[in-house]
Amino acid sequence: MKSESGIQQRLVRAFLLQALLISLTAVVGVYIAGVMIKGVLISRALEEEANYYWELHTRDPSFPLPDTRNLTGYLDNSGQQPPDELSGYSNGFHELPSDAEFTTLYVTERNGERLYLLFDGERVGRLALYFGLLPLSLVLIALYLVGWISWRLAGRAISPVIWLAHKVDSFDPDPKASNVIAADDLPSGSDREVLALVSALNNLNERITAFIEREHQFTRDASHELRSPLTVIKIAADMLLSEQELSEQARNSVKRIRRNAADMEDLMEALLLLAREFDLGLSVEDVCVNDVLDEEIERVRLSLGDKPVSIEVSDACQLHVQASEKALAMLFGNLLRNAANYTEQGVISVTVTEKGVMIEDSGVGMSKEELENVFTPYYRAPGTSQSGHGVGLSIVKRLSDRFGWNVKMDSELEHGTRVTVGFPGAACQ
């Protein structure tokens, strides 16, 4: 799956996640440290304090009870009787309600006497704050500072790559545009990998420019060199057709030559026009679709000859689009010729709507499999007897893709085909 986020965004997320994990680790560490202090260290200290007192009390019953800032001792049957609220507790550790951080009571009994050790955790909590949380906060600040510095260094390291990505994104394939990236234009601190990328991109740009120049030269030469013999063929065919003594069979052969020469000329124009990425012949202008259709329909009517097929036109309005007139003529010419080729008798209906053009014929139609492959270059339906090279509808598809037109084709075997061409942004007058 492709990621739409950039390197910089991913780097920021990585460092933010790192800071979050550090904070969570610190919080968990403080919590565990508190549990250890409260549940293990203090309990262990109270046990040792009680054992030490009982050992000394056995030797000297008058040995004083513990009485410090945090620890207070009480003994039954002595001058330091425990308060009434403590006398009801059994042997062991007890947590007492208190305003301090915590208060722990440890009760032990020997020789009929009970020892109460009361530990006040308020000062321990303060010490933990001073000697635990404050150093931890300083460590966190240091870690965050190191993380910020690392992020800055990482950002500086990848900044040439980001700059290069923006530069490549703004590349103009027009050979007249300068896409060469000079080494002096690179951001400071660019690594040798970035320099290698720049060198590779410049070499690729040179190859693309040379390729486009060769393509332009080919289209110019092909346009000139192919038009001349085709024009000679058409003129020669017209001269032969004007001969009165020409037999009917020879006349039909000459007509076929003349028709194929015209088809070849149209095909050559289509292929050359599509090959010219920057040809001014594809300039966009305001074009009346109805006028283009009328010219192409007249050309198809002439090619029908004696075939019992009529072309009916219905104009809901004068449809204007921003497009290339050559491209529109090529699009409608291929669609109309395709309808005429596969309609032996009946009607070809051309309807101009507010959104586009619909061409419907009563021809042989297509199966589902044929319809799926209809825009494939050089595809011809199995068993078809019609002439053609299988590129007409492929040209229609390429033209519609280039100009953003919507071409939809529906067909049913033995019931004809309907083609709908939609023009986004069309104006109906």
- Asked whether residue 362 carries a pLDDT value surpassing 50, the answer given is yes
The band of 383, judged by pLDDT with boundaries at 50, 70 and 90, is: very low
CA 231 to chain centre: 50
Distance CA 245, CA 276 (A): 45
Give the pLDDT score at 276.
Answer: 61
- Asked whether residue 358 carries a pLDDT value surpassing 90, the answer given is yes
Q: Name which residue leads in pLDDT, 301 or 126.
A: 301
- Asked whether residue 137 carries a pLDDT value surpassing 50, the answer given is yes
What is the average per-residue pLDDT within 9-13?
A: 74
Give the pLDDT score at 280.
Answer: 43
CATH fold of 283-428 reads Heat Shock Protein 90 (3.30.565)
Lowest-pLDDT range, 13-27, 42-56, 127-141, 368-382? Answer: 127-141
Tell me the whole-structure pTM to 2 decimals: 0.49
* Best CA proximity match to 75, nearest among 59, 48, 92, 86: 86
Distance CA 28, CA 136 (A): 12
| Cβ–Cβ < 8 Å for 117, 46 | yes
Q: Name which residue leads in pLDDT, 274 or 2.
A: 274
Tens of pLDDT, residue by residue over 342-351, are: 888 889 999 9
What is the average per-residue pLDDT within 78-92?
A: 81
| Cβ–Cβ < 8 Å for 375, 338 | no
What secondary structure does DSSP assign to 267-313, as a single string?
Answer: HHHHHHHHH-TT-GGG--EEEEHHHHHHHHHHHHHHHHTT-SEEEEE
Give the pLDDT score at 359.
Answer: 92
Q: Name which residue leads in pLDDT, 335 or 33.
A: 335
**Token pair in block for residue 120:** 């006040």
The band of 321, judged by pLDDT with boundaries at 50, 70 and 90, is: very high
Give the pLDDT score at 349.
Answer: 92
- Asked whether residue 270 carries a pLDDT value surpassing 80, the answer given is no
Percent of the chain with pLDDT over 70: 78
Q: Name which residue leads in pLDDT, 5 or 81.
A: 81
The band of 131, judged by pLDDT with boundaries at 50, 70 and 90, is: low
Average model confidence (pLDDT) for the chain?
Answer: 78
The band of 379, judged by pLDDT with boundaries at 50, 70 and 90, is: low
The band of 421, judged by pLDDT with boundaries at 50, 70 and 90, is: very high
- Asked whether residue 91 carries a pLDDT value surpassing 60, the answer given is yes
- Percentages helix, strand, coil for the chain (3-state, rounded to 5) are 55, 15, 30
Distance CA 227, CA 265 (A): 7
| Cβ–Cβ < 8 Å for 142, 96 | no
The contacts of residue 322 (CB under 8 Å, 6+ apart) are 284, 285, 286, 287, 425
Measured CA angle at 136 (ends 131, 141), to 5 deg = 135
Lowest-pLDDT range, 8-12, 51-55, 289-293, 326-330? Answer: 8-12
CA 193 to chain centre: 26
What is the average per-residue pLDDT within 106-115?
A: 87
The band of 87, judged by pLDDT with boundaries at 50, 70 and 90, is: confident
